[in-house]
Each structure stands twice: as structure tokens, then as C-alpha cells.
Chain A
Amino acid sequence: MKKMLTLEVNGDVHELAVELDATLLRVLRDQIGLNGPKKGCDSGGCGCCTVHVDGKAVYSCVCYAHSFDGVKVTTAEGLSSGEELHPIQAAFVDAGAVQCGYCTCGMMMAAKQLLDECPRPDEEQIRHGISGNLCRCTGYAKIVDAVKLASERS
């Protein structure tokens, strides 16, 4: 069964008929057509699906979309405005933190939450801040470098 739902995603307002048990991840990917939030496990274990809901990072795969009626959602696509990359995106590119890239969008959203709350994190804070997000390619070394770089540049 479907019910109407309003979401503001990356600045655009969407009014959608959404299944009662659909997750936020599914709405963002399958109904709105975004690629940034990714499904790695669909069970709250990897962080690939991390997006911001009213400025806070959540695993969108474990959230029922209808619990979020009227909220503002930001995904990796919404980080940059126009042609300029957001400093976190630019830092991920420059630090070589992107390999297969499947974790990257979720990882950047986790990093954004960390830097929003703590603009000058030390290494331990960075490592704990991204520890809810798995990466299987990088060993996290260059992801940690990227978060440091983004912090230094802002």
C-alpha cells in the first residue's frame, strides 16, 4: 500500500506515493533516481547508504521513509553546488581516498557530520567518526588523510 510523502532532497521538493514499508534508501535510489546513497548490505552494517536527514547522518537503509515526512535530505550529489566540488569531495579526490568508490559517498556524508560537529578533529576523532562506515579497498589510510585535508582547508 502506498501513501503520499514529501521530502526535500538536495534542495528539490518531491511529493511521492511511497509504499508504507519502503526504506528511505529505496525511495532515494529507485524513486528519485539518485546514485550517491548506495546499498552495500541493506541491514545497517556498512554505511554505504549514509545520507543526512536535517543535517544528521543516518543509514538510509534502516529508516522507513514515512518516518521522515517533510524532512530535508542531503546526499553526496547535494554536497557541491554548481561546478565546484565541496571541500570534502575535493579532499577525497586529492588524497587518493577513492578506489572502487562504492563506499565513498556514504563515507563523505559521515565525514561531513564529523566536520560539522568538530571542525578540527584529531586522528582518533576522525577514525571514530568514520568507524560506522566500511571500506574494503583502501584500508582507510587515505580516507583519514582526506578528512584531515578537508579540515585543514576549511
Chain B
Amino acid sequence: MSQLNVVGQSLERPDAYDKVTGGKGYPVNVKLPGMLHAKMLRSPYAHARIVSIDASRAERLPGVKAVLLPKDVPQIKFCPVFFVPVQAPSMVLDFDVMNGERVRYVGQPVAAVAAITADIAEAAIDLIDVEYEELPAVFTPEEAMAEGAPQLHDEAPNNIAKTPFFEYGDLEKGFAEADFIFEGTYETQRVHTCYLEPRVCVVDMDRQDNVTIHVTTQHLFGTREKLAFALGIPETKVKVVKSPYIGGGFGGKLELTAMEPVAALLSKKCGRPVRLEQTRQEDFITTTRNPIKVYLKTGVKKDGTFTARYAKSILDCGAHATHGSEVIMVHGAFGLFFNYHAPHQKWEGYTVYTNNMIGGGYRGYGAPQGSFAVESQIDEICTKLNLDPIAMRLQNARKQGEPHPFNPAFTLATYGLADCLREGAAKIGWEKARRRDKGSSGAKKRGIGLAVHPVWVSGCMGFPDIYEHSGAIVKINRDGTADLATASMDIGSGQIATLTQIAAEALGLPAGAVRMSSAGDTDNLPFDAPTHASRVTYSSGNAVKEAALSAKKRLLEVAGSMLEVSPADLEVSDGKVSVRGTPSKTLSVAEIAQRAESPFVQMTAQGPQPTVMEEKGTIIGLSSLAPKSNPTPCAAQFVEVEVDTETGEVAVLHAVYAHDIGRAINPKAAEGQVEGGFQQGMGYALMEHIQFDPETGSCLTTDFLDYKMPTAVEMPRKIDSIFIETDEPTGPFGAKSLGECCVITPAPAIANAIHDAIGVRFTQLPITPEKILRGLGKI
């Protein structure tokens, strides 16, 4: 890799200044003239038939402008997940915006109102009378699959929405060859992404079906396609406006929900823009991480080599499959099946309907649930067989140069797992901490734990049915700066910084000379896949680099004409174009762009400049391309905990995370991803849990007083991030991906550290103080 000037620097984030001075660029701030406010009426029953709806009292309330009932909403079934087509064969097509016959979970929208204020809309929905006929409901996947259970969807016998499986080798033979067999069941809970900006949209739909929407979304083009489909209109009728940023997503804003089409239809009815903002209580029941129960059986040789692995996973998708039909696949593949070598393997997955709220996307997308099982069980194996947990993992892990387990057309060109383990272990003092006394006399016991995530993605390239290409526009300005436009959303993960750094590096411009355009929409931007699947740095980054190189090619053609040399003899650095080997022959990028852009003969101190028609025209580069590969990042997480055996509290004292990300484009932004990822993973491990009333199915977690996530006080005082730079040949300047492994590894690492501290193995998340005390036999 030649010398990098902009990539690799922890540059200030270009969006930080606006965000500390108030923050203009969020969808929640959008106000349009004449805008109305909407609210949705939601079902109080988990399972019921809608007998009748009478909205006449609501319609008469002064200030109410329109009421929307199921009869006004196209009754179309589709998949609302953004990154697959509306009717992708791999998905379950069971979602509808407002079902007129039946409700299947507490909180399903049944009607909506638009009014001149949100208060009036709120008062009006209370005046809508809905008569329900309650039906028997089912709240656990086991009950739902049992004989005689209420059937939630006609096309899904036994409430099984999807049953994928993978298999190779001969499982029985593999288990017969094992010296030891380990079995266990590992359960994870329902959690929420807890983005802080609530879901909100402002939609203007005219009577000719032209729609303009501002919305908290991780995908502009997905919003366009799904909204158009739900409304039954051509997708080019829908314009999704890119907001400069949104207040967090983490996978929680990756699908169309009722909110957008409801606001659109109300807008059409009223002829005015409509704003619909969800309350936190509504957000808690809109999308969540699916709980999965994993039964895992592993055969090992005495030395720790795997001979066979079998797993069965049962996912509670709630009332509609949505992401649940994709999460189960990613869970099986990347959470369980691909991570280590085993000659004989089998996995079966079940996505099961219940009358719980629907699940959704969340960072890690099925892998945290799988990794908790696999990495916990590996710890059990190492403890029982007295094996070194680092060596044992490496012994079963994949190696650099092997074919990619997911798609043999790709290879593991870069794979730094051994370095992650070595450097992480050194940083936390693994060897010494493993041998030390646990503090046998006092109430507080210390422990150290490890988990790795060996195989993950840099996007969805290679998955059938999934959109994955990216595009970008790079335009060089007359002052020597450049503008970058992409449909890639910065959801807080720093794309504005990293993509502009990639563009500047490719163009040869100095740090800060590339600006991310803050305006754009689906009419004028090239397609980009969502900000999801750890894909933006790698996949969008490659498109940005390509567009920048295309602009640079044109820049050098103009410069070559001006300097009367071949473009091949020119190079660009720090905003200057010079003839290789003749540094005195130099032009600034600004001078070249002025020449190209100026429609007139230019007057300079030296007199009028000659006009050459071939030099004229904006210097601009475009790209639209699918990534060449899907390189795997890999990571090792080490944690040190202190368990209070009197109170059951667990304090995480120190976290070390080592990650092969290919190249850190902006190291400080990368650290921010890891630190925030650890918070989410630690919350998953120890405290976060969406609770339901087991009788009625209503969500008891309605706000942040009920939903506990780590604050600054609970977080470890030290989080060390180590980036292993393996220089991925297909990545932009060597980069792979970063966003999700750091959320996957904390829970098993913490569970393993707790086991190290007190000798008790926990197989159900979250590991609350109560569970700790129960595990110690104290309650």
C-alpha cells in the first residue's frame, strides 16, 4: 500500500459542529407548511377478529381532518424488510399495513387520525369504537408449534413460518468419532435497539399519487420501493428525501412499518402534509431483536478438535415474520455453521409465529443469539478438558487463503484472527489473570473471559435475493474542493467522515477538502443498499472510491491538456497535480477545475487564457457497482468482571476488543463503534429485556425507566480497541467492515468471565443479579 495521507487519520467528523450547536439535520425537525399530525389506534388484544369499527365520533371532533380505517388501506401482503424485493422468494410475505379482519398482537394498528394538532389526533383515536371478538392467543414458540394451537396465518401450518436447514458430512459418524460430547440449550431474550430519535415521518402525498417523504430510515431506496408497493403505486411516484443524518438505527430502522403508508394515505385524504411521530412506547413494540432458543451439541476429540456439530434454533418472530425469516438464516449460517471447521455439521432453524410483537433487525442480525451458544459451549469444553481457550479456538478456526465458507467463489484473502487473539490477550494480561486467585475470602470475585466472532460479513454480497450495489457521484469544485453525493445514510456510525476521507484519498485532495452533500433524494441519487450488514465502509466505500477515481481521470486529462503532457505522466497529491519527476511543473486542482468549468475565456495576470474545447465541462465521476467480494472481519473480545456474591451484581471492569477490520479509515470513529457496540452487548448480557404480560401479551416495557440499558456508571472504566490492519485487497484502501462483530462478542465473553469468577454457567440472558444469586444457591 502506497503512502496514505487522509485515510487512517482520526479527522474531526464533519457533522459534529451542527450536532453540538443544536442539530438541524434530523427528520424529527422537519416541518412543512400546513402540516397535520397523525396518531394510530392500536389493538388492545393479542389475537382477535375485528367485528366492526365506528369512527363517526372521531370524525366529528373539531380539528380532525381525516380518519383512516382498514377499508381505506390497500390490503396487500408483502415483505417490509428493506434490502430484499417486496416479494422475494426467500422471505415470508405476510405483512400488511392495516389488516381489516384480524389483529395478531397487542399494538397492531387498526385505525388512524390526522388532525391540526397531535393532541386532537390523540383525543380522536380514543373516540373510535372498535368491536373485537377475542380469539385464543399463544405466546411461546413451543406452544405455538403444539398440536391444536391457534393458527395465526393460513399458509403456515403449526405456526412455522420458515424452516431452513444446512447439512454436510455424516453427523452420526462425526459423533461416533468424538471422545466427548457436549450438549446445552442457550436462550436469549427480546431486546430493543433503543435508537434515541423516535421513528418519525413527514409525508406529502398529492391526489395524483406523488409522494414526498422525510423519514428516519436506514435505506432510502428500500423506503421508496416498499412504500410504493404498500400504496399500490409505481415506485417512481415516491421521492424519499435524504436527511443528513438520523438519530441512531442499529438495524431498528430497516423496514417499512405502518407509520409511513398510514401518514401517506392520510395526507392524500387531506391534501396536506402529515407528520406521524411514534412514542417511545410505540417504538418498543415496532421492531426488536428476536429471541432464539438454541440447542447445541458438539463432538470433540481429547485435544479439542471438533468432530461434529449439531444445532437446532427456534426463533420467536411474533405475529409477522418480517426480518425473522432472514434473521434465522444469518443466525444459522454466521452464528452457528460457518464460524469453525467441523467435518460433520447439521443445523435446523424454525421461525415460529406467536401473538407477541413482531421482531426486526438489530446489529448482528441473528449472530449474537448463535454466538452466545457457541462461545459459551466452547468455554465449557475448554474447562472440562483443561484446554487453552485461545489455542483451542485457533485449532478449529479457518485460515487465511481458505475458500470463504459462505461462498466458495470468494477466498479469505485476509484473516487476522490469530493476531486478534494474541494482541487482545497481551493487552488484558490473559495468562496472568487466568492463574490468579479469584479472591476467595471476600464477597467480590474476579473473573476473566473470552469470546471470538470468527466469520462475519462486509455486506450481503453473495446472498441471493438481496440488493447490494452502491453508487456515488463526485464533483470537483472550482475552489479545489469536491462534493460527494451518495444515498448511503449516516445513522451515527460515521459514514460522513469515512466516505469523504476515502474520496479525498482517491482524488489526492487534502483532509477536509471533500464535503458530503446534505441534499439529495431517490430521484437524483444512484441506488445504494442500506446502512446495514457492516457494509458501508467496504461496499459504499468501494463505490465512492470508484467515483473519485473516475473524476480524477478527467482531472488529469484536463491537466494534461493544460500542461501539454500525457495524463499518464501526472500525479495528484495534496490538491496539486504535478508531472512525475518534474515537481516544478505543477497546477493546483482549483486552477484545473476553473479552466474546465469556466464558460468564458479566462483573464489572468498573464492575459487571456487559450480556450480548448476538450478541457471544458464539469469534472465529475460516477459509479454504480456491486462489491467484488465479501471479506470476513474477525474479532476477539476479552473482559474482566467482578461479581458481588452478596448482591449478585456484575461489574465489567475492563474490556479489550481486537478486530481485523482490514484498515481503520478513521481510527477514532472506529473506536466509537466498538465502545458503543460493547454497551449494547453488555446490556444484552446483563440487563436489557423487553417484558410481556404472560396473560395478555401486552408489552410491559414502555419507557427507559422499565428498559434498563447501561449508563456511564455501569460501563467499564476502560475499553481498549485494537485494530488489526490486514489490508484487504478488495477493500477501499484495504478496509473491511466493523459495525457488528463488536456487538456479537460481549455477551458470551461476559458469561464466560462470570463462570471464571464464580464457577457458575449461565445459559439464559440477561444474567441479572437475581439469576446470579440463584446460581450461587443464595435464593
Interface, chain A (partner B; CB < 8 A): 19, 34-36, 38-46, 48, 75-77, 80, 85, 89, 92-94, 96, 98-105, 108, 123, 126-128, 130-144
Contact = CB atoms under 8 A, between A and B. Distances in A.
B197 A38 contact: yes
Nearest to B705: A45
B1 interface: no
Contact of B197 (A102, A123, A141): A102
A43 B704 contact: yes
Contacts of B20: 76, 85, 89, 92-93, 98, 101, 104-105, 108
Do most interface residues of chain A lie in helix, strand or loop, or is the interface mixed? loop
Contacts of B717: 123
28 contacts: A38-B26, A39-B28, A41-B280, A42-B279, A43-B280, A48-B196, A76-B21, A80-B21, A89-B21, A93-B17, A93-B20, A96-B668, A96-B669, A98-B13, A98-B16, A100-B245, A102-B195, A102-B197, A105-B22, A123-B717, A130-B711, A134-B194, A134-B196, A135-B196, A136-B679, A136-B680, A138-B675, A143-B712
A89 B441 CA distance: 47
Given A94-B12, A101-B20, 19 more contacts: A36-B22, A38-B23, A39-B198, A40-B196, A40-B704, A41-B704, A43-B280, A99-B492, A99-B493, A100-B245, A100-B246, A100-B247, A101-B18, A101-B23, A101-B245, A102-B492, A131-B711, A135-B196, A139-B719
Given A100-B196, A127-B713, A128-B713, A93 B16 contact: yes
B151 to A, nearest CB: 37
A121 to B, nearest CB: 12
A136 B711 contact: no
B259 to A, nearest CB: 16
Nearest to A126: B712
Contact of A136 (B15, B119, B709, B719): B709
Interface of B: 10, 12-13, 15-24, 26, 28-29, 119, 193-198, 245-248, 250, 279-280, 491-494, 668-669, 671-672, 674-680, 703-705, 709, 711-713, 715, 717, 719
B196 A96 contact: no
Contacts of B704: 40-41, 43, 45-46, 134
Contacts of B19: 98, 101, 104-105
Contacts of A99: 492-494, 672, 676
A45 B284 CA distance: 14
Contacts of B679: 136, 138-140
Given A100-B245, A100-B248, A137 B676 contact: yes
Contacts of A34: 22
Contacts of B198: 39-40
A115 to B, nearest CB: 15
Given A35-B29, A85-B20, A96 B671 contact: yes
A85 B17 CA distance: 9
B196 A141 contact: no
A75 B22 CA distance: 8
Of all A-B residue pairs in the complex, the 7 with the closest CB atoms, nearest first, are: A100-B492, A45-B704, A102-B247, A101-B19, A139-B675, A140-B712, A139-B679
A38 B247 CA distance: 10
A38 B669 CA distance: 23
A39 B677 CA distance: 23
A43 B703 contact: yes
Nearest to A98: B16
A134 B247 contact: no
A23 to B, nearest CB: 12
Contact of A101 (B15, B250, B280, B719): B15
Contacts of A108: 20
Given A38-B23, A85-B20, A141 B248 contact: no
A127 B676 CA distance: 16
Contacts of B705: 43-45
A35 B675 contact: no
A33 B348 CA distance: 54
Contacts of A98: 13, 15-16, 19-20
A16 B10 CA distance: 45
